Structures are given as structure tokens and as C-alpha cells.
């Protein structure tokens, strides 16, 4: 080995290292030892052929087909060994290594390297070989790579699945390196920055400088956080990676942000709701459990508490439907305004509100049942009245104002809701009371289609508050006609004494 050759080798490697990116030239021997042969590895990347994307396809050992997309081809390695008389006499000893190239591609590249060395005797050829590999790969059909045909599998054996995993990692490293060393324009401040000063969001691929991104995230975190930090592009839903957000916010703000997101995620779970107490409003959990009760008649009663919610912070137990203190199997006491608001929201067009309602009330079926119940109650409020004794709702669609509850056998007045005497329920409609003479008030329309000869019967029967019973001024023949008309109209039932009585609610 002459000193001139050694000096030429070191000079060539120094120049090559200045051209390549950092850590792309690796020493595998001691270059400072004059007696040691210089050996190393050049990593060849393919930034210039990154568009269009590369797809690696194959079949795993289990028979499952796979397809991997890369922004950039994984690099190949050029191993070199410089003889003592290189470059004055000998050529370098080169070996090409690749995880994805097939036998044909390897042979083509190796043949090109041999040709370069032969055409450039007595010259340094390492950079020429490096550039030739890039140019050659650019010309080869490498947009779709069949991994099962990779030369490394045929040469060294090994598992296709482990090779796929290795290539996936190398591809991601290559893409990250390409990004770091590329110049980008920030869409917020419109300045240009190298990739290592920027953030690339996925999967949208929008790029913004770190300064603008971090300033935005810090301002958001100091206010009310309602969602995860996202891409700065308008309308984009891509979320920032956790390490980016943590770097932007710092320990204190990030801790607050993390707690907020955790609580938000819990609130979106089907079995969690927000505590209704104004001074708490933390996460509460809906309990679905069976409760056993021992009744006085020595019988056991079992029911499921589906609407019991318990706050894990203030220990408040409440009904998940009405948000009041838990009331067991008793019905919810909803305010009229709350009912109307819930029905209006469910019948509206806002799908986000509907989704929140489903989470709040335990699913779509529960909300629909609740809305149907409120609509029924609204109809009953408008078209029925409660029995004064048992409170059951009673509808009136025809007949006089004397009502009869078949549940508790109570007679009552439809007009004032007063309970009536069972023996003489019509007494309430006589005399000087507020309902006197009003037995058929407002129901004259039921008789508009009666024959013309029946009009005087209605007037005579209920004029001035009298009931159907005849007095001295009524002819017996007229009385018979009255009773016949009343019976035809359905106002009689058979009492215990065989005399007719007005049927309540008819």
C-alpha cells in the first residue's frame, strides 16, 4: 500500500461524506489504522423517485395477501472494501444488499457497478456507483414490488412476515428522513421551514411550522377544551400525535388537557353521564343491577334499576332520566317544560343532539319510549281528566258531564271534577251550584242530526237545570217519550230497583 493510495482513499471518503446526508456513510473498520483495510457501507436512498407511491405486495406464510404503501422506497446498502492499491491499480470490491429487490434487479445493478469500475480505472468510483444505483432504480419498474420474489429470501431464507415487518420500519424511517430534509411553506405564517421545524399531520399530510402549531395549541388549552388537538387546516379532522401535543403544551397544560379528554371519552361511553349537580358535573356511572325487596306479605320482589346513576366524585345517586334524586321504582316527576324540550330536540334535525340523548338515556329505544310517553301524556292532558279519587285518566268523547270511573267506581263531574253522590249523581247539576243546569253544556252538537220532532224533547228534559224526571207539568205521554228518547240515546242502565239511571261518561 502506497501512502498516495491511502491518502486518495481517505480524501474520496471525506468528499463522499460531505455529499451524503448525516449517518449515510458508515465505517466498518478502523480507518485511522494505516495497516487496516478501509471498509464501510453507503446507504442509498431514493427521495428523487418518491412520486408516485410504491406498493409492496405479497402473501404471508398463513396464505393471507397483503399490500403496503410507501411514500418512498426503503433504501439499499452498498458495501465496499478498498484494496491497498485502489485506485491506482485495483477497483473496489462492492456488494449490494437490498430487502426488497428481486434477483433480476440485483443482477442488473451489480452489472452496472462492474461496468462503472471498468470504465473508470485509476479513478475514485464510489460516488459514481452511488449515483448509478439511484438512476438505475428510477428506470426499473419498482412502483409495485412482489415481496415473495425478493432476492434476500432466496439467498438467506427467512420468514416473509418478518421481512415485511422489517421493510415497513425501513420505509417509515425513509419517509421521515425525507420530510426532515425537505423545505415547506407554512400556511399560517407563509414562511418557509425545513421539515425538522415543521409538523406533518396524518392522514391528511398537511404541513405547518411548529411555532404556529404550538402557539395555537397553547391558546386552545388555556380555554375550554372540547376535543382533541387537530390539524390547523380549515375543516380538517386529523388529530395531532400525543408527543406533538405534549411538546407544545408542556407538563402543566398537558396534564389539564389530558384529564379533560379522559373525562370527555368517559362521558361518551354508554354507561356514563354527567352529574347534574351544578357544583360537581363530573362523570357518573349508570348502574344496571337487580334489586331484591322483601314485602310485608313475606313475598320477595325483584326489579332492575336501569336508571340509577351514581357520581364517583360527590357520591350523589340520581335518576338518569329526570336527573332528580333517585326514586326507585316510582315514576319520574318531569316538569312540563323539560318534557316539551326533550320531545322538540328528538323531533329536530340535529343528529349530534340526538346522539347525545341516546348516550344520556341509555340508547335510542329508551329515548323513543320516553318521547312516546311524553306525547301520550300531552294528549291525555288535553283530552282527559283524572278521577278525583284514584287519578286514573278518563277520556270523554260524548254524552253528558256525569262521569263514572270504572276503576274505583267513583262518579264525578267533568266540569268541576267534584265527586258525585252515587245514589243521586244528578243532584249536582240542579239547585244553585256552579254546575246547575249544565249537564249537557257544550254537547248539543250530538243531537244536531236528530229528527226535528226530538228537539223539543231535549229542551224539555234539561231546561233550566231539571233532569229527566217528569213533574206535574209534564204529561205522562211526554214522559214516556222522554224516557224512550233517553234510552235510545244510551243514557239508561238497569239499576237494582229496575229503574234506569244515566250511565256515567256516556
Query: Domain spanning 185-264: which superfamily?
Result: Zinc/RING finger domain, C3HC4 (zinc finger) (3.30.40.10)
Q: Name the nearest CA neighbour of 389 among 345, 341, 422.
A: 422
Helix, strand, or coil (residue 349) = coil
Q: Which part of the chain is CATH 3.30.40.10? A: 185-264
Asked whether 212 and 189 are in contact (CB, 8 A), the reply is yes
- In tens digits, the chain (506 residues) has pLDDT values of 567 899 999 999 999 999 888 888 999 999 999 889 999 999 998 875 555 567 888 898 888 898 888 778 888 999 999 999 999 999 999 999 998 888 988 999 999 999 999 999 899 999 999 999 988 888 876 678 888 888 888 777 778 888 888 888 888 888 888 888 889 999 899 999 998 899 999 888 899 999 999 999 988 888 766 678 889 998 898 988 888 998 888 888 888 888 777 766 665 665 667 788 878 877 777 776 544 444 444 454 444 455 788 887 888 888 877 777 887 767 677 777 778 888 888 888 788 788 777 766 666 777 888 888 888 777 777 778 889 888 888 887 777 888 889 889 899 998 888 898 888 888 888 878 888 888 888 765 444 444 444 444 444 444 444 444 434 444 444 445 545 545 554 444 443 333 333 333 44
Give burial (CB, 10 Å; 0-12/13-18/19+) of 251: exposed
Residue 502 belongs to what H/E stretch? none
**What is the torsion angle, in degrees rounded to the nearest 10, for the CA atoms of residue 494, residue 500, residue 504 and residue 506?**
100
Q: How far apart are CA 75 and CA 67, in angstroms?
A: 19
Q: How far apart are CA 78 and CA 49, in angstroms?
A: 19
DSSP-assigned beta bridge partners for residue 274: 283
Asked whether 101 and 150 are in contact (CB, 8 A), the reply is yes
CATH class of 3-178: alpha beta
Q: Which part of the chain is CATH 3.10.110.10? A: 3-178
Q: What are phi and psi of 156, to 5 degrees?
A: -110, -5
Q: Name the nearest CA neighbour of 464 among 488, 441, 430.
A: 430
Amino acid at each position: 500500500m502506497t501512502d498516495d493510495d491511502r491518502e486518495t482513499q481517505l480524501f474520496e471518503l471525506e468528499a463522499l461524506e460531505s455529499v451524503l446526508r448525516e449517518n449515510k456513510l458508515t465505517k466498518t473498520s478502523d480507518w485511522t489504522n494505516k495497516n487496516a483495510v478501509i471498509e464501510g457501507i453507503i446507504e442509498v436512498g431514493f427521495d428523487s423517485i418518491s412520486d408516485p407511491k410504491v406498493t409492496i405486495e405479497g402473501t404471508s406464510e398463513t396464505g393471507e395477501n397483503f399490500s403496503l404503501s410507501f411514500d418512498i422506497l426503503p433504501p439499499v446498502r452498498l458495501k465496499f472494501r478498498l484494496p491497498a492499491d485502489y485506485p491506482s491499480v485495483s477497483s473496489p470490491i462492492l456488494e449490494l444488499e437490498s430487502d426488497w429487490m428481486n434477483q433480476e434487479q440485483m443482477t442488473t445493478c451489480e452489472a452496472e457497478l462492474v461496468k462503472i469500475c471498468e470504465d473508470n480505472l485509476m479513478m475514485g468510483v464510489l460516488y459514481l456507483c452511488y449515483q448509478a444505483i439511484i438512476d438505475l432504480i428510477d428506470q426499473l419498474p419498482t412502483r409495485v414490488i412482489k415481496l415473495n420474489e425478493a432476492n434476500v429470501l432466496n439467498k438467506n431464507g427467512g420468514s416473509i412476515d418478518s421481512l415485511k415487518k422489517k421493510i415497513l420500519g425501513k420505509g417509515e424511517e425513509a419517509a421521515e428522513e425525507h420530510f426532515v430534509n425537505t423545505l415547506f411553506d407554512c400556511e399560517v405564517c407563509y414562511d418557509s421551514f425545513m421539515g425538522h421545524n415543521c409538523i406533518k399531520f396524518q392522514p391528511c399530510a398537511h404541513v405547518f411550522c411548529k411555532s404556529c402549531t404550538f402557539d395555537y395549541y397553547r391558546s386552545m388549552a388555556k380555554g375550554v377544551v372540547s376535543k382533541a388537538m387537530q390539524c390547523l387546516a380549515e375543516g380538517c379532522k386529523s388529530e395531532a400525535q400525543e408527543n406533538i401535543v405534549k411538546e407544545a403544551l408542556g407538563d402543566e397544560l398537558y396534564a389539564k388537557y389530558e384529564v379533560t379528554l379522559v373525562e370527555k371519552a368517559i362521558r361518551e361511553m354508554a354507561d356514563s353521564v354527567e352529574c347534574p349537580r351544578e357544583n360537581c358535573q363530573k362523570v357518573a356511572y349508570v348502574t344496571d343491577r337487580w334489586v331484591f325487596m322483601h314485602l310485608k306479605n313475606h313475598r320477595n320482589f325483584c326489579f332492575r334499576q336501569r336508571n340509577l346513576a351514581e357520581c364517583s366524585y360527590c357520591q350523589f345517586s340520581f335518576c338518569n332520566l329526570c336527573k332528580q334524586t333517585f326514586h326507585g321504582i316510582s315514576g319520574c316527576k318531569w316538569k312540563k317544560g323539560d318534557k316539551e324540550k326533550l320531545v322538540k330536540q328528538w323531533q329536530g334535525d340535529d343528529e349530534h343532539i340526538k346522539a347525545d340523548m341516546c348516550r344520556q338515556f341509555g340508547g335510542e329505544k329508551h329515548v323513543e319510549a320516553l318521547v312516546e310517553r311524553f306525547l301520550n301524556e300531552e294528549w291525555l292532558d288535553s283530552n282527559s281528566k283524572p278521577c278525583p279519587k284514584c287519578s286514573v285518566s278518563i277520556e270523554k268523547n260524548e254524552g253528558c258531564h256525569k262521569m263514572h270511573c270504572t276503576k274505583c267506581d267513583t262518579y264525578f263531574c267533568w266540569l268541576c271534577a267534584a265527586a258525585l253522590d252515587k245514589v243521586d249523581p244528578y243532584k249536582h247539576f240542579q239547585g244553585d251550584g256552579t254546575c246547575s243546569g249544565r249537564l249537557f253544556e257544550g254537547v248539543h252538537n250530538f243531537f244536531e242530526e236528530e229528527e226535528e220532532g226530538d228537539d223539543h224533547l231535549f229542551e224539555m228534559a234539561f231546561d233550566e237545570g231539571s233532569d229527566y224526571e217528569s213533574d206535574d207539568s209534564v204529561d205522562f205521554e211526554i214522559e214516556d217519550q222522554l224516557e224512550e228518547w233517553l234510552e235510545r240515546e244510551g243514557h239508561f242502565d238497569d239499576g237494582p230497583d229496575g229503574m234506569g239511571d244515566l250511565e256515567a261518561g256516556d
